[in-house]
Structure 1
Amino acid sequence: MKTLILAFTALLASASVFASSMPDTAVIQDKTGFFVHLDVDKVLSSTDISQACGVIPAQLNYLDHQGREHVLNYQVQGSGCTNDH
């Protein structure tokens, strides 16, 4: 039992070392889904869909309220289709 507790403690300690070595400027890749809660403070860039037709991949780059940069990849219907009714 002591070995298990010691191994678990070592795992937690090594995880915190790796987490602290990650730079604060790392870009966060957000996961896509139906109910994604975004903390958007400032949009940096987004895919232009005005000339695209059909479902296309798009990307949103933004800063959250803590100043961290995020990238969200998703699918969107282009708005450039001229024969849509």
Structure 2
Amino acid sequence: MKLFMLGFATLLTSGSVFADTTENSPVIHDKTGFYVSMDIAKVISVTDISGQCGVIPARLDYLDHQGREHVLDYLVQGSCPNEN
């Protein structure tokens, strides 16, 4: 029985040594709405809305000051090139 417990303890400790310890932080999807507090340190990408008419979906990818990646999906009014 002692040998079984020793083997089990060895298995547990060796499993934690070989475990993947890299931090894989998932992308945080922010919710749209009034008074959205955003901590933007660096903008990664923004949807290009030039030349598009009407209300269109847009996306903002950015990093906060802690280095976490955020995605904000929202609607924006495009500016039609033929409007006066």
Same fold, TM-score > 0.5, yes or no: yes
Percent identity (aligned) = 66
Paired position in structure 1 for 2:26: 26
For the pair shown, the structure with the greater C-alpha radius of gyration is 2
TM-score relative to the length of structure 1 = 0.67
Task: Tell me, yes or no, if the aligned pair for 2:51 and 2:81 is still in contact at 8 Å.
Answer: no
Equivalent residue, structure 1, for 2:83: 84
Report if the CA contact (8 A) 1:24-1:68 is conserved: no
One-letter code aligned to 1:56:
I
* Alpha-carbon distance in structure 1 between the residues aligned to 2:36 and 2:63: 15
CA contact (8 A) 2:42 2:62 kept: yes
Distance in 2 between residues matched to 1:74 and 1:84, nearest whole Å: 23
Gaps of 5+ in 1: 1-22
User: Could you tell me which residue of structure 2 aligns to residue 46 of structure 1?
Assistant: 46
> After the TM superposition, which segments of 4 or more aligned residues of structure 1 sit over 4 Å from their partners?
none
How many equivalent pairs are there? 62
- How far apart, CA to CA, are the structure 2 residues paired with 1:37 and 1:48? 23
**Offset of residue 34 of structure 1:** 1.4
1:70 aligns with 2:62: no
What 5-or-longer segments of structure 2 have no aligned partner? 1-22
Alignment RMSD (CA, Å): 1.3
Q: CA deviation at 1:26?
A: 0.7
Structure whose residues are more often helix by fraction: 1
